[in-house]
Structure 1
Amino acid sequence: MNHERSRDLYGRALSVLSGGVNSSVRATRPYPFFVERGDGGHVIDADGNRYVDYVMGYGPLLYGHDAPEPVQAAVQKYASAGPMYGAPTEIEVEHAEFVARHVPSVEMIRFVNSGTEATVSAVRLARGATGRNKIVIMQGGYHGAQESTLVEGGPENPHPSTSGIPESFAEHTLPVPFNDEEAVAEVFEEHGDDIAGVLVEPILANMGIVAPVDGYHETLRDLCDEHGSLLIFDEVITGFRVGGLQCAQGKFGVTPDLTTFGKIIGGGFPVGAIGGRAELIEQFSPSGDVFQSGTFSGHPVTMAAGHEYLKYAAENDVYEHVNRLGEKLRRGIADICEDQAPEYTVVGSDSMFKTVFTREGPADLDGQCEAGCQQRADCPRFDYCPKTGADVAKADTERWERIFWQEMKDQGVFLTANQFESQFVCYAHTDEDIEETLEAYKEAL
């Protein structure tokens, strides 16, 4: 493939953008290709190269790059009526009503502008509602670029995971391993009276995709109930992607007190939201004492796009299609790995997928999870598949980034840039795209 124009654009970008990009995950090696346009389930770069796209904007594009006609019409209607007003609009009420009808935890909602803003506001609300300070998070979980959760270490030695955050900011954050019931129980035993909430992704989705072991979220629910803490599900990635319109909480049958949203709920436009029980959400200003506000919150174009996005999914076979293709892709990759790299672990659910380059596996794969790791105790991989973010971090990430990603790109398949980020099937993808992708996997592995 020729990438001459992308290389030139990157050279220009390095002069005016930090690292040549506006989000660190876009800085692929040796330089990123620059996208010119999208076409259904594909993107075309600045040099005319075409790729099957499984990045999907890192999750928001349930329909790919050509949204259904009702979505496009709504965007054009609201954009032409005026960019924004600094006043409420009917469409934000309609969108809120739709979400509240379908998501188990949501009685009331506050729309914001990003997943990061949603989780920042949810943490503030949990502290304000409980009068407590500490937040439990999962090691390897990701909740946006906020000071309370950019924290690593353990509950006894938390410290910021990036420069620019004072050590004192991490004092009220308690990181524990995902899927470790004993560890989280010990944290509650020691700090339960000061834990405002547990913030957890239902599926770790920025760390290779790690599914919960049986009963883990139920344990979190029970501990929060016992100690008067709030259970907060971060569904920025899984929301309206896993579990359909009920989101991952509906799929797992565990209802949190608060849920954060982003990505799909905005129909491909910048968005975030915090939903939950009415008596909690009403504690946001102006009805309560927890300050939350934003100039672009409830932006009419975003609300219109998100509303039509979800309405179309409710009225058509969207989830049936994307989940079928997701399963077909994961099964196909699992078959290829069994022949060519039996130590690797295929992960994912619904329309999400990834291959984690785990370094060890069982001698016999008979009876393994065939369509992505589900943390089945009777699966031969159970003792080898990633259970925590640390398990994923031990995988062969350099091989994934330096060799595998490059090989897939050269064969016209666009994957997320590192070992950790989720990948997504969209409504515009076809069986032919899946077959083409599997052939590329055979070559790249």
Structure 2
Amino acid sequence: MNHENSRELYDRALSVLPGGVNSSVRASMPYPFFVEDGDGAHVVDADGNRYLDYVMGYGPLLYGHDLPDPVEAAIQSHASAGPMYGAPTEVEVDLAEFVTRHVPSVEMLRFVNSGTEATVSAVRLARAYTGRDKIVVMQGGYHGAQESTLVEGGPDGARPSSPGIPESFAEHTIPVPFNDTDTIADVFAEHGDDIAAVLTEPMLGNMGVVMPVDGFHESLRDLCDEYGSLLIFDEVITGFRVGGLGCAQSEFGITPDLTTLGKIVGGGFPVGAVGGRAEIVEHLTPGGDVFQSGTFSGHPVTMAAGLETLRYAAENDVYDHVNALGEQLRAGITDILEERAPEYTVVGTGSIFKTIFTREGRGGEGRCEAGCRQREDCPNYDACPKTGADVAAAETNRWERVFWQEMKDRGIFLTANQFEAQFVSYAHTEADVQRTLDAYQDAL
């Protein structure tokens, strides 16, 4: 493939954008290709190269790059009426009502502008509601670029994971391993009266894809109830992708106190939301005294795109289609790994998938057939990722330096590092899945 135009654009970008990109995950070696157009399940770069896209904007594009007619019409209608108003609109109420009808934990919500803004608001709300300061987070979990959760370390001491964050911000955050109920119980035994909330993704989605072991969420729910802490599910990635309209909390059968949303709920436009029990959320200003505000919150174009995106999903076979293709893709990759690289692990659920280049996995009869399910009777159970550290210990450089490049050369656009999840859209077809499997077969 020729990438001359992308190389020239990257050279220009390096002079005006730090690292040549506006989000660090968009960087790739030796340089990213620059997208000019989206077409269904494909993107076309500045040199005219066409790629089958599984990045899907890092999750928001449930329908791919061609929106259903009702979604497109709603966007155009609201955009033509004016950019924004600084006043409430009916469509934000319509979308809020839709979300509260379908997401088990959400009785009331506040729309914001990003997943980061949603998790910042959720943490502030939890601290104000409980009168406590400490937040328990999962090692390897990602909750946006906020100071309270950009931490590393363990229960005995957290420190900022980025320069520019004062040490004092990390003093109130307790990182624990995902799926480690014993450690979390010990943390509550020591700090329970000071813990405002446990903030976790239902499944790790930015550190590979790590599914919960049986009983993990139930243990978190029980500990929060016992100590009077709040359970916050960060569903920015999983919301309206895992578990359909009920989100991952409906699939896992756990109702958190607060939920953060983003990505799909805005139909591909910038968005975030924090919702939960009304008695908690109503503490946000102006109804309560916990400050939260934003000029672009509830932007009418975003609200219209989100509402029609979810309505279309409710009225059509969207989730059946994307989940079936996701299952087919994970199962096909699992079969390829059995022959080519049995030490690797296929992960994901619904329309999410990824291959983790684990080092000590094993194949064999009885292996999870279409993505790790944390089954104790699976021959790969002891080697499959259960924490963020397990994913970090995989052959992460091999993905970035070799595999991603090989797949790109075969016209398959995957996330550029080992950690970010990948997504199937409504625009993908069975033929696309087969083409992808053929590329995996060659690249591995």
Query: TM-score under structure 2 normalisation?
Result: 1.00
User: Partner of 1:131 in structure 2?
Assistant: 131
SS at match of 2:428: coil
Structure 2 letter corresponding to 1:245: L
User: Partner of 2:398 in structure 1?
Assistant: 399
Structure 1 letter corresponding to 2:271: V
Structure 2 letter corresponding to 1:421: E
Residues 1:53 and 2:53 are matched in the alignment: yes
Alpha-carbon distance in structure 1 between the residues aligned to 2:361 and 2:67: 41
- Structure 2 residue runs of 5 or longer lacking an equivalent are none
Query: How far did residue 191 of structure 1 move?
Result: 0.3
User: Partner of 2:347 in structure 1?
Assistant: 347
Structure 1 letter corresponding to 2:265: I
Q: Deviations over 1:147-185 (max 9, x none)?
A: 000001012110000111011110000000000000100
Two-structure CA RMSD over aligned residues (Å) = 0.5
Alpha-carbon distance in structure 2 between the residues aligned to 1:25 and 1:186: 35
User: Partner of 2:161 in structure 1?
Assistant: 161
User: Partner of 1:435 in structure 2?
Assistant: 434
Alpha-carbon distance in structure 1 between the residues aligned to 2:361 and 2:120: 39
Structure 2 letter corresponding to 1:409: K
Runs of 4+ in 1 over 2 A off after TM superposition: none
Structure 1 letter corresponding to 2:93: V
Alpha-carbon distance in structure 2 between the residues aligned to 1:110 and 1:419: 33
Query: How far did residue 266 of structure 1 move?
Result: 0.2
SS at match of 1:158: strand
Alpha-carbon distance in structure 2 between the residues aligned to 1:222 and 1:117: 28
Structure 2 letter corresponding to 1:2: N
SS at match of 1:260: strand
SS at match of 1:301: helix
Query: How far did residue 289 of structure 1 move?
Result: 1.0
Query: TM-score under structure 1 normalisation?
Result: 0.99
Alpha-carbon distance in structure 2 between the residues aligned to 1:408 and 1:361: 23
User: Partner of 1:144 in structure 2?
Assistant: 144
Residues 1:375 and 2:374 are matched in the alignment: yes
Q: Deviations over 1:374-394 (max 9, x none)?
A: 101111111010000000000
User: Partner of 1:425 in structure 2?
Assistant: 424
Structure 2 letter corresponding to 1:369: C
User: Partner of 1:81 in structure 2?
Assistant: 81
- Structural mapping, 1:111-130, within 5 Å: 111-130=111-130
User: Partner of 1:209 in structure 2?
Assistant: 209
Alpha-carbon distance in structure 2 between the residues aligned to 1:343 and 1:323: 25
Q: Deviations over 1:278-297 (max 9, x none)?
A: 01110000011110000000
User: Partner of 2:2 in structure 1?
Assistant: 2
User: Partner of 2:175 in structure 1?
Assistant: 175
Query: How far did residue 353 of structure 1 move?
Result: 0.1
Q: Deviations over 1:96-150 (max 9, x none)?
A: 0000000000000100000000000000000000000000000000000000000
Query: How far did residue 14 of structure 1 move?
Result: 0.5
- Structural mapping, 1:190-339, within 5 Å: 190-339=190-339
Alpha-carbon distance in structure 1 between the residues aligned to 2:12 and 2:310: 39
Structure 2 letter corresponding to 1:444: A
Alpha-carbon distance in structure 2 between the residues aligned to 1:155 and 1:190: 10
Structure 2 letter corresponding to 1:13: A
- Structural mapping, 1:86-101, within 5 Å: 86-101=86-101
SS at match of 2:154: coil
SS at match of 1:377: coil
Alpha-carbon distance in structure 2 between the residues aligned to 1:403 and 1:8: 23
SS at match of 1:116: helix
Alpha-carbon distance in structure 2 between the residues aligned to 1:23 and 1:350: 26
Residues 1:415 and 2:414 are matched in the alignment: yes
Q: Deviations over 1:274-314 (max 9, x none)?
A: 01000111000001111000000000000000000000000
Query: How far did residue 365 of structure 1 move?
Result: 1.5
Structure 2 letter corresponding to 1:194: D
SS at match of 1:153: strand
Q: Deviations over 1:375-423 (max 9, x none)?
A: 0111111101000000000000011100000000000000001000000
- Structural mapping, 1:99-114, within 5 Å: 99-114=99-114
Alpha-carbon distance in structure 1 between the residues aligned to 2:16 and 2:213: 46
- Structure 1 residue runs of 5 or longer lacking an equivalent are none
SS at match of 1:238: coil
Query: How far did residue 210 of structure 1 move?
Result: 0.1
Alpha-carbon distance in structure 1 between the residues aligned to 2:67 and 2:223: 42
Alpha-carbon distance in structure 2 between the residues aligned to 1:30 and 1:365: 37
Structure 2 letter corresponding to 1:116: T
Query: How far did residue 345 of structure 1 move?
Result: 0.1
